[in-house]
A and B are shown apart, each in its own frame.
Chain A
Amino acid sequence: MDLLNAVVALLNFVIVPAVAYGSQLALGALGVTLIYGILRFSNFAHGDTMAFGAMATILATWGLQAGGVSLGPLPTALLALPVGIAATALLVLATDKLVYKFYRAQKAKPVILVIVSMGVMFVMNGLVRFIIGVDDQQFADGARFVISARDFREMTGLDEGLAIRTATVITVVVAGICVAALFWFLNHTRTGKSMRAFSDNEDLALLSGINPERVVAITWIIVAALATIAGVLYGLDKGFKPFTYFQLLLPIFAAAIVGGLGSPLGAIAGGFLIAFSEVTITYAFKKVATYVLPEALEPQGLVQLLSTDYKFAVSFAILVVVLLFRPTGLFQGKAV
């Protein structure tokens, strides 16, 4: 029975949150890796693109809520997602036209594009704060739990409860659908294939008559969709606050690099690797240890490797290890 309790505690505090967080990171890292593969630079504005997408969705959600529309147990934000995606897509396409296109035509060095993306980040950050402010915004509605901790305890008779929040389930389901759709698109449609060809060898792709501007535009639209979905899912799970999206930049980049920049599969693996490491290393294992170990060995402290304030240090450490030992990432991305 104690062993079961330990497993449930581990599920509740480590595995379920890590799966949700990993899905969010994976979606974010997919966006970064797509930009890297097609446009060949690290997009520092990605965190703030996510914030903008989430903001646009929140505004649409408020509109729907004011109109009395709701999805019952599901959060209304899901209904507002297309609006958010459309707004974000318009924003990034406009940014591309106004800003990035010039440097692409010049064939500027990637590092110049990175600096430019930093400027874009500045503007988007200002825009988000200007429109919605810097405060926390709660926009999750509908049922809070699929199974609450108390129901679970009553159902199973265990001491430990396993709470599964609606936001978690939605995150995993939506992320799964997105990833499946993206891979289907990249592998089975003509446009997707032309994108992969462009990413693999730009010159050959141009030679075979692929229109580069079209590929770039489609990439931006997909990235806008991924960023918005990632931003909204993160917001539903943990609340929306513009500054946290900037801080997500580090784990997202770490995920993309660990998986191998330019490799979509790597981005997903990287996202989950970073999320699981972060949650495991910052979780206090005292509870689990008390169940599993005999009484004599019971731990005195919290058995926490690192306090939660240092969760950035975890993604950073993984990043450093990968850079030192395998700079192309686990899935052999294109960057060295």
Chain B
Amino acid sequence: MTLTTRDILLFCAVFGLIAATGFFQSWNVALGIFNMGLISAIMALGVNMQWGYAGLFNVGVMGFVALGGLGAVLVSMPPVPDAWAAGGLRLIVALLAGAATIVAAIQTWKRMGKGLARTAAMIAILVIGLVIFRSLFDGAVEAIERVDPAVSGYLGGLGLPIVLSWPVGGALAAGAAWMIGKTALGLRSDYLAIATLGIAEIVIAVLKNEDWLARGVKNVIGLPRPVPYEIDLQRDPDFVERAASWGADVATASAITVKLAYAGLFLTVLVLILVAAQLALNSPWGRMMRAIRDNEVAAEAMGKDVTKRHLQVFILGSAVCGLAGAMMTTLDGQLVPSAYQPLRFTFLVWVMVIVGGSGNNFGAILGGFLIWYLWVMVEPLGQTLIGLVTAGMADGSWLKDHLIDSTAYMRLLTMGVVLLVVLRFSPRGLIPER
């Protein structure tokens, strides 16, 4: 499982493209693309574990990424003591009551004999539990959201360093994946797709509407950063001196230093995950996963518990997506629930995996960088193209205005066409599985 010359050339070509942006536009832009490329590559690795190793179709990447972002807020933001005093305890009791209700209902279903009595008991437990939950929960939420709604109105986080939130984000996503996997795995492959589509929509709805959790559509801004702020660097005399010795102006130098620091952090995570993923793929476990993917019936005949293995790899892959989501929120420095669009987060990551080469970790990484670069670059290219097309038309004609207004949607079309063409003519992707 080594890289061939061709693979290395492909990687060089993609990094060359990004470097060209640095030479011809600005290094700030190029590093921005590189950083998001790193995060995209990690997301693609997560989806590749699910699809490439095991053939599981996850259409809810967006939901897991958003859960990672929630993890970043919950870990890093300072707690809001007034909100905790107003209703924190009551809220936690309410959530515990809700969880206890569900556990009790499940246990009743499992323990009692089949029949009308069982159904009636379960419904009774659910109804009583819901009434208790709502009576505690509604009051707590109201009290918390009334605490200074313009700046907080939520419980805040734990006030810990934000880097700690990355594994936490992964764990949140893993928990959601466990719930989905438990219900939908073991049934037809399409059902998992539809269930993940649903959970992603619900995660986003929760983020948008539960103000006590992460301020909803009011957004959480100003997350603490793991790297220094540009403004502090610019005030630091040492840094100013060094910038002068490089012959760059202070503002650019500080922006680039910050981006490089992020790049170092993200690169470390990417390399760690890549090494782990490669080791797993080449271990007996990885061979078993691929055997299951290629022939479930045969693997089952060999005594492998297909559903359990699927659940395992589904949780792992989702956790990686959650981790990447927490990293992305760290990079953005804010959590904006309305920014989570399925086309941008779920389907773009899928294009990355398919184009890069499903089943190959290096392929997923290459796809992550390449597709992210294209996603950023298609828009200016599209504008140029439309500019050329419309150059001959009269100014102010409705068609010209309409075409110019619509360039923003060019990239959806382009990405769709790229996906279809790759699937049709080169289904194994740029760096195929070996």
Interface residues of A (CB under 8 A from B): 41-42, 44, 99, 102, 110-112, 114-116, 118-127, 129-131, 133-134, 246-247, 249-250, 253-254, 257, 301, 305, 307, 309-310, 312-313, 315-316, 319-320, 323-324, 327, 335-336
Contact = CB atoms under 8 A, between A and B. Distances in A.
A116 B188 CA distance: 17
B190 interface: yes
Contact of A320 (B193, B195, B208, B416): B195
11 contacts: A41-B190, A110-B190, A111-B55, A112-B423, A115-B423, A122-B347, A250-B201, A310-B202, A319-B194, A320-B183, A323-B187
Interface in B276-303: none
Nearest to B206: A310
B409 interface: yes
B199 interface: yes
B416 A120 contact: yes
Given A118-B59, A118-B419, 6 more contacts: A111-B55, A123-B417, A124-B416, A126-B414, A320-B183, A335-B190
A257 B201 contact: no
Interface residues of B, number: 43
- The 3 nearest A-B residue pairs measured at CB: A122-B416, A126-B413, A126-B412
A118 B198 contact: no
Contacts of B132: none
Interface in B165-199: 183-184, 187-191, 193-195, 197-199
B194 A42 contact: yes
Contacts of B138: 301
B205 interface: yes
B206 to A, nearest CB: 8
Interface in B71-118: none
B125 interface: no
A121 B423 contact: no
Interface string B126-159: 0000100000001000000000000000000000
Interface in B397-419: 405-406, 409-417, 419
Contacts of A118: 59, 347, 350, 419
Contacts of B415: 122, 126
B354 interface: yes
B377 interface: no
A272 B138 CA distance: 30
Contacts of B201: 247, 250, 312, 316
B187, B209, B416, B419 interface centre (most CB from chain A within 10 Å): B416
Contacts of B342: 246
B195 A133 contact: no
B380 to A, nearest CB: 17
B6 interface: no
Given A111-B57, A114-B193, A127 B413 contact: yes
Contacts of B205: 309-310, 312-313
A120 B57 CA distance: 16
A111 B191 CA distance: 10
B389 interface: no
B420 interface: yes
Contact of B416 (A42, A121, A131, A133): A121
Contacts of A42: 190, 193-194
Contact of A335 (B59, B188, B198, B409): B188
A316 B412 contact: no
Contacts of A131: 406
A314 to B, nearest CB: 10
B190 A126 contact: no
Nearest to A124: B416
Contacts of A41: 190
A129 B412 contact: yes
A309 B423 CA distance: 36
Contacts of A102: 424
Given A118-B59, A123-B420, A336-B187, A253 B413 contact: no
Given A309-B208, A315-B198, A319-B198, A133 B406 contact: yes
A119 B351 CA distance: 9
B343 interface: yes
A129 B419 contact: no
B189 A120 contact: no
Contacts of B187: 323, 327, 336
Contact of A307 (B57, B209, B410): B209
Contacts of A123: 412-413, 416-417, 420
A47 to B, nearest CB: 11
B53 to A, nearest CB: 14
A312 B189 contact: no
Contacts of A124: 416
A254 B191 CA distance: 10
B55 A130 contact: no
Interface in B327-369: 342-343, 347, 350, 354
Contact of A323 (B59, B189, B195, B410): B195
A134 B409 CA distance: 9
Contacts of B406: 129-131, 133
Contacts of B409: 126, 129-130, 134
B57 A115 contact: yes
Contacts of A312: 198, 201-202, 205
A254 B190 CA distance: 12
B423 A133 contact: no
A124 B417 CA distance: 10
B404 to A, nearest CB: 12
Contacts of B130: 305
Nearest to B407: A130
A258 to B, nearest CB: 11
Contact of B420 (A120, A134, A305): A120
Q: Which of A44, A130, A249, A307 has the most CB of B within 10 A?
A: A130
